[in-house]
Chains A and B, each alone.
Chain A
Amino acid sequence: MNVLKRYLQSFLFFELLKGLSVTGRHLFARKITVQYPEERAPQSPRFRGLHALRRYPNGEERCIACKLCEAVCPALAITIESEERADGTRRTTRYDIDLFKCVYCGFCEESCPVDSIVETRFYEFHFENRGEHIITKPELLAVGDKFEKQIAADRAADARYR
């Protein structure tokens, strides 16, 4: 009996149709593929992407070289050198993040007393040459300048939970 059943099923392409029915179902179901880069997956305001150094509205850099981020960084990705600037304030002369070492844990952002180092929503970056993975202070500030509006909005959205 079983032999006959199997013979009929294979003769009538039953397995093929059964398999195709999944395809057919999905053909008409709602599409979930995100058409990157035309489409983007939604992001949380807490998304941890590329780092940025922020400025105050008057253009003054926020970072005061307290080095808490350097101390808290579990991957030792941050290197800071500091000095007294001509106006007597404490500033960094060097602020490097090694993006190969960074694990994007967000501790630096959390430890920062002046909301200077932040992780932006930007994650689409690549390196073409050796050495580019270490991003420097001017680059970080430029990232901050570029995304400041979004960064500020995200901090505001998250403020009540902090």
Chain B
Amino acid sequence: MSAKPDMSTTQPPDADMVTIEVNGEPLRAKKGSMVIQVTDAAGIYVPRFCYHHKLPIAANCRMCLVEIEKAPKPMPACATPVADGMKVFTRSALAHDAQRGVMEFLLINHPLDCPICDQGGECPLQDLALGYGKDVSRYAEKKRVVHDKNIGPLIATEMTRCIHCTRCVRFGQQLAGIMELGATGRGEHTEIGTFIERSVDSELSGNVIDICPVGALTSKPFRFTARAWELTSHPSISPHDCVGSNLNVESRRHKVMRVLPRDNEAINECWLSDRDRFSYTALNSSDRLQSPMIRDGGRWQEVDWSTALEFTVAGLRRVIDQHGSNQIGALAAPASTLEELYLLQKLLRSLGSSNVDHRLRQSDFRDDQALPPFPWLGQSIEDLESCQSVLLVGSNIRKEQPLLGLRLRHAGRKGAQIMAINPVDYDLAAPLAHKIIASPADMILGLAGVASALAARGKATRDRLPDWLSKRVPTASEQAIAQVLATRKPAAVLLGNLAASHPQAATLRALADLVAELAGAALGVLSEANGAGAWLAGCVPHREAAGKAANAGRNAYSMIREPLQAYVLLGVEPELDCLEGGRARSAMEAAEFVIMMTPFSPASAPTAAMQYAHVLLPLAPFTETDGTFVNCEGRWQSFTAAVRPLGETRPGWKILRILGSRLGQPGFDYSTIDEVRAEIDARTLTPSSNLGERLLPPELRVDTNTLQRIYEVPLYRIDSVVRRAEALQQTADNPKPAARMSAVQAASLNVNDGARVRVRVAHGEVVLDVAIDTRVPDQCVLIPSGYPETISLDAHGAVSLEKAEKA
């Protein structure tokens, strides 16, 4: 394309561009684009229902009919490609008459129930009826009635209102990757629904609520509670995954009523995952902790902040005096804001302890020193779409970072080859070109095979490869993955959350780094929530803010394994958020003093916190505090509170500020959050995902003969907010925890689907239902974490299963 922006006649016309005339105004347009795209870009409005700029074109609502010179009839603007010299009239008598005619047809069967319809006030049909509808209907016959479908706990249906634009169908087909909704029947008998009676289970299903131009699909948790016009919209950022989706938090009278996506082409486009959209329901639940509480002499009592802070300071002082400051440890939820994480580590470090960590679900920290300043995607989120080959290592990206999964699906549609080395054959909704589904131990061998296949292609590396790696003979699928990665560029290797919680995560990271180097691919690390922010804030034992080296303290895993005397918990529910819930509970119970900052009362959760905590400080969730989240591409996104804190709740940065001051530490006299943010001067850091030094063990010890547990945290169990979002808990993505295993494995244990088995690990045993799951490899049992039933189990190591009595 010509770099010159002007359209002077001296330049030869660009071969890709044509000139059309819309309402007498000349417009330049790209060849092959549709009339509506040109008018939209020029700000000329053409009414539409079925056209959506992110969806494929269907042209079935006919609302966008416009007059085109020399065309015998009005043409749909959304499906008419531009041609040079084309003259379009969007508001001529012919066009307007056609649009009014279409509107009359659409309104024939549309019920007149706007007063009870949740879409009322933000409904394109209602709005356009004002401009294009008649005030009196000529239609006296009975209107069509369609039975409602129950399509799950998130989306409410009122199918009589449907105008068959098929946006929801196209969304499912093209974006969500599964065609869950479809149109059956023809003409007046057309109905939108799931083909068989079932729910819509996509992790992105909530988006159909936004794209539905009428009130046929509306939000079930929001149903009938508020009107669009009475809500105030506050820009915010999602705290649940490392994408950092942009949201609008809509509130009324200081209560969050709903959450909608905010357009940001670089991050979430116009979409939002269900987790981000519906997690707000927890914020209004009765489980919220509304005032500070202290446990004095075994009894809990509600106190004012001053008393609670005095009690906290006295408790910490006592522990420091008796046991030394290195007996204090802090665990932070990765969904905390950058400022909270920064102040937490500053507080701990100023007290003389470096025991501060946010990596609650990891156990292998051998390569801490070699890791880059923060976990980085290796590219921008937008670039992910143009990758030609992507290797996922230990990632269920579709459920862990649903919007990155969507980007990969786009890449797949554009011809990228998506491959995976996973412990479970997850449905990634993009066809996998090659995959290795292996037990956690075998995943290492699989990745090693890919590395050795790539090394065999002759590319040199700075490391001397250990024998077990260089001598490994790659299998066919390892060869194939190496072949694709080496030949299809740009390529990316993505390490998911399952890789981070892998028992030998450091080896896996080193191998992934090696593979990326050998293949010339970008290495991306997908962290939990605000993981990047936590690293930059210094909320890791060995690094201070902005990646400065620090006297290494204890990491999250060692703080649990070798209990300390005092714990500061920032938004953490230890049993549910830590890798080994049972051990976390024992550690807390053994501690002399436990401070819990939490938005929710632990009495409502399956934790024993009411027995072991000494202070509960009500912490503001993301809608009630200012803060910053850093996403996986290193983008800092600051936001302000949407509503005022509930009851006596206070923003985390203020709690930590006053704790710092009351403990007599200098440097905690901030007056605004901007001052805190300014102290974390990390914007000059160059993001990188390559390891300084690869930790490839000289001997690889993998135990492939014993039964292994596969540890996963289902997407609606990841943090204290989503765990309390009732609607999300009822979805199909949140099945009852079970011991999932292959049919072969079940047969070897002589159990059937639905039988009970006793699961024993090194620490903890429970009885679970058996579920036959074809996605799980043999010699493995998939047991989800984050449920009350499974919290006492260790994450890794050998498992023994035996048949148990039916409950």
Contact = CB atoms under 8 A, between A and B. Distances in A.
Interface of A: 64-68, 70-71, 81-84, 89-91, 113-114
Nearest to B120: A66
A71 B252 CA distance: 14
Contact of B115 (A81, A83, A91, A113): A113
B216 to A, nearest CB: 16
Nearest to B227: A67
A103 to B, nearest CB: 20
A66 B115 contact: yes
B223 interface: yes
B334 to A, nearest CB: 34
A71 to B, nearest CB: 6
Contacts of B226: 82
B141 to A, nearest CB: 23
Interface string B213-233: 000000000011111011000
Q: Is the interface of B mostly helix, strand, loop or mixed?
A: loop
21 contacts: A64-B115, A64-B116, A65-B116, A65-B224, A66-B114, A66-B116, A66-B120, A67-B227, A67-B230, A68-B115, A71-B229, A82-B224, A82-B225, A82-B226, A83-B224, A83-B225, A84-B223, A84-B224, A89-B116, A90-B224, A113-B115
A118 to B, nearest CB: 16
Nearest to A93: B225
Contacts of A68: 115
A71 B227 contact: yes
Nearest to B156: A84
Given A67-B230, A70-B230, A114 B115 contact: yes
Interface string B109-148: 0000011100010000000000000000000000000000
Interface string B84-115: 00000000000000000000000000000011
Interface string B487-528: 000000000000000000000000000000000000000000
A84 B223 CA distance: 7
Contacts of B229: 71
Contacts of A114: 115
A68 B114 CA distance: 11
Given A68-B115, A71-B227, 13 more contacts: A64-B115, A64-B116, A66-B120, A67-B230, A70-B230, A71-B230, A81-B225, A82-B226, A83-B224, A89-B116, A91-B224, A113-B115, A114-B115
Nearest to A91: B224
A65 B113 CA distance: 12
B130 to A, nearest CB: 15
A88 to B, nearest CB: 9
Contacts of B227: 67, 71
Nearest to B252: A81
A81 B116 CA distance: 14
A85 B18 CA distance: 57
Contacts of A71: 227, 229-230
Given A65-B224, A84-B223, A84-B224, A90 B230 contact: no
Nearest to A64: B116
B679 to A, nearest CB: 43
A84 B218 CA distance: 13
B258 to A, nearest CB: 14
A70 B227 CA distance: 10
Contacts of A81: 225
B149 to A, nearest CB: 14
A114 B226 CA distance: 19
Interface in B368-392: none
B77 to A, nearest CB: 34
A83 B222 CA distance: 9
A84 B226 CA distance: 11
Contacts of A67: 227, 230
A71 B223 CA distance: 19
Interface in B427-446: none
A94 to B, nearest CB: 11
Contacts of A70: 230
A66 B114 CA distance: 8
A71 B230 CA distance: 8
Q: Which of B223, B224, B226, B229 has its CB near the most chain A CB atoms (within 10 A)? A: B224
Nearest to B229: A71
Contacts of B116: 64-66, 89-90
A20 to B, nearest CB: 65
A67 B120 CA distance: 10
Nearest to B255: A81
A59 B226 CA distance: 25
A133 B331 CA distance: 52
The 7 closest A-B pairs by CB, nearest first: A66-B115, A90-B224, A90-B116, A113-B115, A84-B224, A67-B227, A64-B116
A81 B225 CA distance: 7
A62 to B, nearest CB: 11
Interface in B227-263: 227, 229-230
